[in-house]
Amino acid sequence: MDSQKTGITSVKKVYNTTAKSLKENPALFVPFIIFAIFEFISLIIISLAPRMPLRLFFGPLIRTFWGERFLHYPLNFLLLPKLASLVRMGLTIIFGSLLTGMAVVIICDIYNKKPIKLGASFKSALKKYIYLFTVVFIFTLLFYILVKLVTIGLIKYFIAGHSRLLFLGAGVWMGPVLFVINFLLALLVQSAFIYAIPILIIEKEKLIKSIIKSFVLFKKLFIPTIILVGVPMLIYIPVLILQYNGSFLINRVFPEFVLFISILGIIIGSLVIDPIVTISTTVLYLMNKEK
């Protein structure tokens, strides 16, 4: 009970500091705005994939992995959320890792009452780019593998002839239950790796040691970390539900509505959730480091 109270108290202090930092230092948003711009441009490009001249590049890829029908209207919009998710993964690894490192430097300067220098913050992160890239790559790859293993395992289980698992049918498992499992996997994996970048940037530790320290710190600060990472992620659930029901949107509203939902996903994901999670967990790390 005491640990729960301590965790909740820590979360309140962290969110107060986070809100104050964002209010007094709008420059904190810069790394996240840059990433959102990359993501938005990429979304527009893939939404135009079936059209010439982009079709020359994207056509063979879509045809090979998903089929010819997704190169034609309106089914191209049914594939859009999947493509957007894959593109976001790539952008997160290549650019997001660097920009998150930059954000951590800015947060650290604010916390220590130092002036914000965007150029210097970018250079500091750039020096650690290989490590930052590797941490995000490992985290993303691990999450992707776990999701695939669970999905394939369930598919094979029901294809083998089983009608139920733990009293639930295939439709429930492959629908809402799988959705919840994927959410929990994302929460746990991200939470376990969440302190690796602050440790890399602030303590200037090596790659493996940073990851190990992140796991140890996650275990120590389990309750506040889960709250700080998990609560903002809940905001994204309505977007995921709408994207999961893409065929409903295409049939009942209009196909282009899927694109609008993806744009909303960028706004919520890159400009709301990412800043809150990154800033709050870095602040928690800095508070713990002081102790």
The string of pLDDT tens digits covering residues 65-82 is: 998 888 888 888 889 999
Write out the two tokens for 254.
């209009």
Q: Cα 33–230–150 angle (5° rounding)?
A: 105
Contacts of 98 (CB under 8 A, 6+ apart): 125, 126, 129, 132, 133
Is the pLDDT reported for residue 95 higher than 90? yes
d(CA 135, CA 149) in angstroms, rounded, equals 21
Q: Which residue has the tokens 């083998």?
A: 160
pLDDT of residue 274: 95
The verdict on whether omega for the bond into residue 74 sits within 30 degrees of 0, i.e. cis, is: yes
Q: How confident is residue 291, by pLDDT bands cut at 50, 70 and 90?
A: low
Is the pLDDT reported for residue 1 higher than 90? no
State the pairing for strand pair 168-169/164-165. antiparallel
Q: How confident is residue 9, by pLDDT bands cut at 50, 70 and 90?
A: low
Write out the two tokens for 91.
């952008």
d(CA 85, CA 143) in angstroms, rounded, equals 13
d(CA 189, CA 18) in angstroms, rounded, equals 23
Q: Which range among 57-61, 197-201, 249-253 shows the weakest confidence by mean pLDDT?
A: 249-253
pLDDT tens across 98-125, in order? 999 999 999 999 998 898 999 999 999 9
d(CA 31, CA 98) in angstroms, rounded, equals 9
pLDDT of residue 225: 95
pLDDT of residue 146: 95
pLDDT of residue 8: 63
pLDDT of residue 7: 58
pLDDT of residue 242: 84
Is the pLDDT reported for residue 198 higher than 50? yes
Select the more confidently predicted residue: 126 or 241: 126
pLDDT of residue 229: 95
Q: How confident is residue 250, by pLDDT bands cut at 50, 70 and 90?
A: confident
What residues form DSSP beta bridges with 169? 164
Mean confidence (pLDDT) of the chain: 90
Closest CA to 17 of 97, 113, 139, 91: 113
Helix, coil or strand: residue 207: helix
Is 46 within 8 Å of 80 (Cβ atoms)? yes
pLDDT of residue 3: 47
